[in-house]
A = this chain, B = another copy of it.
Amino acid sequence: MQKQQNLSKNQQIIFDIIHNSSEPLKAYSILFNVQKKGIKAPLQVYRALDKLVELGKIHKIESRNAFIACQNSSCQISKATAFSICESCEQVSEISNTKLSKYLSNFTDEAGMKYNKYNLEFFGLCKKCKSK
């Protein structure tokens, strides 16, 4: 529940919920959670989510349409994200691996083109699920 300077009221409420969640949250599940706090409409949620993504405080897991808090002590590099996703229990964690991020940030395609941003999602079975 750590107070983040410079987030607006709605942004703070929604960040806290995502940050305290052990799993990625979907927009409408967030909406349901914050209705008691006076946030009533989808758009209020989506606006806060957009801003938080832009700030790098949260990331969107594209394959799941869900959001998790940044786990890299708030990476401003929302431009270079990598996640590990368990296909059984849907647990998601952010991968923080210097070699990987260097490799991808420096990646140049066949045409010599470089990219300023990437998103990588790995899928498999987490330890827990594998041992079942």
For the side of the interface on A, what is the size category?
20 to 34
**A119 adjacent to B116 (CB under 8 Å):** no
Report how far A46 CA is from B100 CA in the complex, Å: 34
**When chains A and B are docked, how far (Å) is the Cα of A56 from the Cα of B3?**
46
Pick from B109, B115, B122, B127: contact of A107, CB below 8 A. B122
A1 within 8 A of B: no
Residues facing B in A106-128 (CB within 8 A) are: 107, 109-111, 113-124, 126-127
Which A57-104 residues have a C-beta within 8 angstroms of B? 62-63, 84, 87, 95-97, 100, 103-104
| B residues in contact with A124, CB < 8 Å | 113-117
28 chain-A/chain-B pairs, Cβ below 8 angstroms: A62-B63, A63-B119, A84-B109, A84-B113, A84-B115, A87-B117, A95-B109, A95-B110, A96-B110, A97-B109, A97-B110, A100-B107, A103-B103, A104-B120, A113-B124, A113-B127, A114-B124, A115-B122, A115-B123, A116-B123, A117-B122, A117-B124, A118-B120, A118-B123, A119-B120, A119-B123, A120-B120, A120-B121
The 5 closest A-B pairs by CB, nearest first: A115-B124, A62-B62, A115-B122, A117-B123, A120-B120
